Amino acid sequence: MRLPKKLQTPMIIINFKTYLEATGSRAVELAMKAEKVSQETGISVGVAPQFADIAAVSAGVDIPVFAQHIDPIRPGGFTGHVLAESVKEAGAVGTLINHSERQLRLSDIDDAVKLSRGNNLISCVCANNPSISAAVATLEPSIIAIEPPELIGTGIPVSKAKPEVITDTVKLVRQVNRKVTILCGAGIGRGEDVAAALTLGTQGVLVASGIVKAKDPYAIILEFADASKR
Amino acid sequence: MRLPKKLQTPMIIINFKTYLEATGSRAVELAMKAEKVSQETGISVGVAPQFADIAAVSAGVDIPVFAQHIDPIRPGGFTGHVLAESVKEAGAVGTLINHSERQLRLSDIDDAVKLSRGNNLISCVCANNPSISAAVATLEPSIIAIEPPELIGTGIPVSKAKPEVITDTVKLVRQVNRKVTILCGAGIGRGEDVAAALTLGTQGVLVASGIVKAKDPYAIILEFADASKR
Amino acid sequence: MRLPKKLQTPMIIINFKTYLEATGSRAVELAMKAEKVSQETGISVGVAPQFADIAAVSAGVDIPVFAQHIDPIRPGGFTGHVLAESVKEAGAVGTLINHSERQLRLSDIDDAVKLSRGNNLISCVCANNPSISAAVATLEPSIIAIEPPELIGTGIPVSKAKPEVITDTVKLVRQVNRKVTILCGAGIGRGEDVAAALTLGTQGVLVASGIVKAKDPYAIILEFADASKR
Amino acid sequence: MRLPKKLQTPMIIINFKTYLEATGSRAVELAMKAEKVSQETGISVGVAPQFADIAAVSAGVDIPVFAQHIDPIRPGGFTGHVLAESVKEAGAVGTLINHSERQLRLSDIDDAVKLSRGNNLISCVCANNPSISAAVATLEPSIIAIEPPELIGTGIPVSKAKPEVITDTVKLVRQVNRKVTILCGAGIGRGEDVAAALTLGTQGVLVASGIVKAKDPYAIILEFADASKR
């Protein structure tokens, strides 16, 4: 699936997780800061709010909105599940899949990528390490995001602490898939971390606490976007 | 937790599941039919739309809106999870827990019930059989809904096919909890099924396909509400 | 189900977990130490080795052997699952269910308890806290073991750190079930912890690392058994 | 990892699942029939009994014994889990991983394959369809077994009903991995099904009910082995 005009590389995707700082009306406010930076810098910034906030965020901003997960189901009798059609109708243009905090069985990742494609949703599949990234790459998602789980939320940037994880991922993924967009994440907190990620061969970053829990999220998003320009 | 004014017994709760007929704008339309019946008959009717539709449904109607599930988590780093605070802020006044299509580990049911209480949400915990219902009753949720999974979606009403499941449930539950509201569900398709459920000792019904997939949902909800008056 | 002659209260059940110190031939050796203590003191000591060791341990000792888990299945096409009939035929007389490291959905606990009963296996269902213990008690297992997960493996005994967890459990459980044997566990490392557990109203302990990883397991089991005599 | 002398292609692996016909002493008897055929025909036949039967089966026959599953864990505090070291010490030389009846998260498949390698166990990873097979192939297991779940246990052989699933799998797998052994399964009941599977490009079959529930398992294994000779 081709990426939409508003989501070009290099890109920044902000995962709101279930942080209170990015729940409900605060989700919309944070998304507006992301939109402002995107408009000012020309860098693509996407946001992934909680399911219940997708509609309000999509209505409030004109940047790409992602679900944080979809279930491998078709419409029917599935109480408490997340239907691709539902997040799509609420305004999402894509979805995270298999985040390390919401990991899926392999066959469910395969299904979720296919359902994303069938519903015209951008699939951003997360992976823990280079070998898992290569496995994911064969499923042909739109985006792969490599995040070593041991660094998530630590403030220790993967691009500094484990650069070889990124370069190995890029190398293994490119052996089986030349088109997929590759992002990295975990511990990204400063512009230089973003610049390093791009230098190591990725096309952007997937971030969460570094922005959501920042004192001044707008300033950090701007710093990330500026560091993405080369 | 006391039930709110708009959710008194006998009650009807409609689970929208992930049916396309009750997704997005159709979720709001269906909820408006439920509201209309409730206003006309004085019978409480609640609705449980998908997560992404909670906000729009809550904004569109003045009847109790339930989430279909919450995760046993507090705010933080939990991608793709459903936070009690999030569904609450979107407008939900309660949540289903442990539906047979979204079953939870026992300790997660315990957590979810406590989180509901802490967030002032009505907890409606589903159970498969009388012994599970009794176990759930000790956790003191607001509502228990007994649904034999083998009858869900069949159109064969539990109140006719397995009346002893309902009477056994009522008996076992009352031995450990005198206050909890008891609903039943599975296969409920006609007003007489609702009346039978009440006669057998429940205070209402949890229904899904019987209404969501009906040709004329308004007519069926009205039939159920009329059958609830005694 | 009545407890067998070799498993009378007060009792000690040793969970071998997946510790290398209690795998394969070391499982049999450890079980023989437990048997020796049981013979010397008259106190019942059971052991719960890994699945692959049940047969050798059962053949090697004449004390009660438990599986660490069974799946809620009947014989059939279930690859990689643990069948009650299988552990029974290998020599187990009972099984742990819902250990905090192998938690089950509520309906699966209900099924596993019923399958244990049907296969004449002693069911020892683990619970995290008093309210969960009460829920479990309504399912009428043979034994309940209360273990606050935050103390497991810490060496901080539940009987000292959280005596109210034990007394609350005993109180809540007895309101719904007068017959079930109640054990406690987590952090139990010395004889006085065992004595305290009994004083607080339990009929024994479920232990793991306190014995399995001890320098001299025989000495610790003996200390526990002596402390159980009153 | 190189395959052992007793497990050369073409090969037959018999999954005992949790069938009563292959539990306990019947597991040893069935394995002896497999051994007899292997000795008579020179074709490699492996067996995958339940965990509790691995030791007795390994002691009773001199053919390759597989576990049906291992957990992605290292030795430690994991009650009710299956440790690679444990099945190895009990006599297994390999393990099934990710059978469609025991599916794993992608990162757990990655871990389990690595743990197999580290413990000198042959890993046989199951996959549902060609794209999942390719993803698995990048993880470099010893063996991949493709089994369309909708045909498992039906008696409708995949090699006849869906030959394109097998040829597509072989093609996609070989694009990313030239060495892995490829098996197929599901519905295999006659010698001609085995021959067809080999003709389509696989190196053998993974079977279960076709042998386990046969009136004369020895005759069927022999028929399969004869059909494997070319």
Q: Give the model confidence (pLDDT) of B113-126 as tens digits.
A: 999 999 999 999 99
Chain D CB contacts of A137 below 8 Å: 138
Report ipTM for this prediction: 0.95
Q: Known catalytic residue: A35?
A: no
Q: Known catalytic residue: B147?
A: yes
Residue C155: per-residue pLDDT: 78
The DSSP annotation for A143-180 comes to EEEE--GGGTTTS--HHHH-HHHHHHHHHHHHHH-SS-
Buried b (16+ CB within 10 A) or exposed e, C156-176: bbbbebbbebbebbbebbeeb
B184-205 mean pLDDT: 90
**Is pLDDT of D102 > 70?**
yes
Residue A138: per-residue pLDDT: 97
Q: Which among B228, B216, B230, B192 has a CA at the least distance from the CA of B44? A: B228
Catalytic residue, candidates A147, A150, A192, A223? A147
Residue C67: per-residue pLDDT: 98
pLDDT digits (tens, 9 = 90+) for A36-58: 999 999 999 999 999 999 999 99
Residue B150 banded pLDDT, cuts 50, 70, 90: confident
Residue C183: per-residue pLDDT: 96
Q: What is the Cβ-side half-sphere exposure of residue D41, based on CA atoms within 13 angstroms?
A: 26
CA distance D48 to D65: 6
- Residue D15 sits at the chain C interface (C-beta within 8 Å): yes
pLDDT digits (tens, 9 = 90+) for C26-76: 999 999 999 999 999 999 999 999 999 999 999 999 999 999 999 999 999
**Is pLDDT of B1 > 70?**
no
- C-alpha dist (Å) from residue B97 to A79, B122, B154, C132: 10, 10, 22, 16
Contact D138 A134 (CB under 8 A): yes
**Is pLDDT of A108 > 80?**
yes
Q: Does an interface of 3+ CB pairs under 8 Å exist between D and A?
A: yes
- C-alpha dist (Å) from residue A150 to A130, A131, A170, A173, B80: 14, 16, 19, 21, 19
pLDDT digits (tens, 9 = 90+) for A175-213: 999 999 999 987 888 999 999 999 999 999 999 999 999
Count of C-beta atoms within a 10 Å radius of residue A39: 12
Contact C132 B107 (CB under 8 A): yes
D102 by Cβ neighbours in 10 Å (0-12 / 13-18 / 19+) ranks as middle
- Residue A116 sits at the chain B interface (C-beta within 8 Å): no
Nearest Cβ partner of A68 from B56, B68, B80? B80
Residue C214: per-residue pLDDT: 95
Instruction: Cite the active site residues of D.
Output: 99, 147
CA distance C154 to D62: 44
Residue C147: per-residue pLDDT: 87
Q: Which among D230, D167, D161 has a CA at the least distance from the CA of D202? A: D167
Contact D19 C102 (CB under 8 A): no
- Residue B158 sits at the chain A interface (C-beta within 8 Å): no
- C-alpha dist (Å) from residue A11 to A43, A44, A230, D227: 6, 5, 13, 56
Contact A86 B54 (CB under 8 A): no
Count of C-beta atoms within a 10 Å radius of residue C213: 18
Among chain C residues, the shortest Cα distance to D76 is held by C19
B152-162 mean pLDDT: 79
Task: Say what the pTM is.
Answer: 0.96
C168-175 mean pLDDT: 95
pLDDT digits (tens, 9 = 90+) for B56-104: 999 999 999 999 999 999 999 999 999 999 999 999 999 999 999 999 9
Q: B168 vs chain C: nearest CA distance in angstroms?
A: 14
Catalytic residue, candidates B40, B147, B164, B192? B147
Q: Which two tokens stand for residue A40?
A: 């000012």
Among chain B residues, the shortest Cα distance to A126 is held by B79
pLDDT digits (tens, 9 = 90+) for A57-97: 999 999 999 999 999 999 999 999 999 999 999 999 999 99
Q: C178 vs chain D: nearest CA distance in angstroms?
A: 28
Q: Provide the chain D residues 56-115 that lie in CB contact (below 8 A) with chain A.
A: 98, 100, 103-107, 109-110
Q: Where are the alpha helices (DSSP H) in chain C?
A: 25-41, 54-60, 84-90, 106-118, 130-138, 158-161, 163-176, 191-199, 209-212, 217-228
- C-alpha dist (Å) from residue C8 to C5, C11, C137, C171: 6, 6, 19, 22
Residue C148: per-residue pLDDT: 82
Q: What percentage of residues in chain A have a pLDDT greater than 70?
A: 99
CA distance B55 to B61: 10
Nearest Cβ partner of A50 from B19, B86, B96? B86
**Is pLDDT of A15 > 70?**
yes
**Is pLDDT of B159 > 80?**
no
Chain B CB contacts of A20 below 8 Å: 75, 85
**Is pLDDT of C87 > 70?**
yes
Among chain B residues, the shortest Cα distance to A14 is held by B79
What average pLDDT does the structure give for chain C? 94
Neighbours of chain C (3+ CB pairs under 8 A): B, D
**Is pLDDT of C230 > 80?**
no
Residue D175 banded pLDDT, cuts 50, 70, 90: very high
Residue B135 banded pLDDT, cuts 50, 70, 90: very high
Residue D1 banded pLDDT, cuts 50, 70, 90: low
Q: What percentage of residues in chain A have a pLDDT greater than 90?
A: 85
B161-168 mean pLDDT: 88
- The phi, psi pair for B96, rounded to 5°, reads -75, 150
pLDDT digits (tens, 9 = 90+) for D125-136: 999 999 999 999
